[in-house]
Every structure is written in C-alpha cells, then in structure tokens.
C-alpha cells in the first residue's frame, strides 16, 4: 500500500467556469496547475510527496539549493520541527489561518523516507514560510 505526504491548497485546485466565455481561462488555469504539481516518490519504501501549489515549481527551479547540498540528517531535523509546528497550526484553525494550514502532514520520525522526499518537503516548507511570511519553529528558512 502506498502512503502519501500531500501538500495541497484547495484554493488552487478549484477550477470553476461560470459560462462558456471563461473556458479559455479555465484551460489556462488548469495548465498552470498541472505544471505546478510536483510528485516525488520513493518507490523503494512506497512513500511520495505530492505538492500542488501554484508558484512552487518556478520558485524551486530558481531558488532551491542543488541536491546533496544539505545532508539527509539536516533535512530530517528541519522537517521534524517544521512539520510538528505545521500540524499544530492545522489543528488550531481558530488561531491560525485555516487557508494556509488546510491539512496535517503525515511525516513520521521513525520512517526513513529517503533523501529525495526529505529534500522536496524541506524546500516546500522553506517556500511556504517565505511566501506567506510564516515561521514554523526554531529555524528561520534560508535559501
């Protein structure tokens, strides 16, 4: 059974056309959404990261450090702290913007997700914090 870590913002997923004149806009939005969907899978342990956020793909291509710039243990330690805080905020929707923290992230510290999953999750969390002016825990995001 494949398990997924999904980061998804429904505001970017709902594509509604009110009439036929908006069909071109709908096609362009759908095309943009598809180009901004990133799927990273570790088939060996059957885990994947699915990131659906308009803008992340171009940010990633422009700003992310190359693979192997950070060690796996560095990525895991940042991800642990940031995901813990993310999930806390997702559970406290009355205190934090529920449009930012729509769902929890299923990231278990006792599972070895591999380098690629941790790398993509780390970069998404850096992007999220910079884009939304948020700070998820004790470490400031850096690029």
Backbone angles phi, psi at 106, to 5 degrees: -85, 85
Please tell me the distance from the alpha carbon of residue 123 to that of residue 125, in angstroms, as a whole number.
5
Per residue in 79-88, pLDDT (tens digit) is 999 999 999 9
User: What's the angle, vertex CA 26, arms to CA 102 and CA 130, rounded to 5?
Assistant: 40
Contact predicate 57/36, CB 8 Å: yes
Per residue in 11-43, pLDDT (tens digit) is 333 333 333 334 444 444 444 444 566 666 656
Domain boundaries, the chain: 3-132
For the chain, state the CA radius of gyration.
Answer: 16
């Amino acid at each position: 059974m494949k398990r997924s870590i999904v980061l998804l913002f429904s505001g970017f997923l709902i594509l509604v056309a009110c009439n036929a004149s908006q069909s071109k806009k709908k096609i362009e939005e759908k095309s943009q959404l598809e180009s901004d969907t990133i799927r990273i899978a570790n088939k060996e342990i059957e885990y994947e990261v699915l990131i659906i956020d308009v803008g992340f793909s171009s940010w990633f291509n422009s700003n992310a450090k190359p693979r192997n710039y950070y060690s796996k243990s560095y990525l895991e330690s940042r991800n642990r702290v940031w995901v813990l805080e993310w999930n806390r905020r997702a559970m406290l929707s009355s205190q934090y913007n529920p449009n930012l923290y729509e769902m929890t992230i299923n990231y278990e510290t006792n599972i070895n997700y591999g380098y690629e999953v941790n790398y993509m999750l780390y970069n998404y969390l850096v992007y999220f914090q910079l884009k939304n002016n948020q700070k998820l825990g004790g470490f400031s995001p850096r690029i």
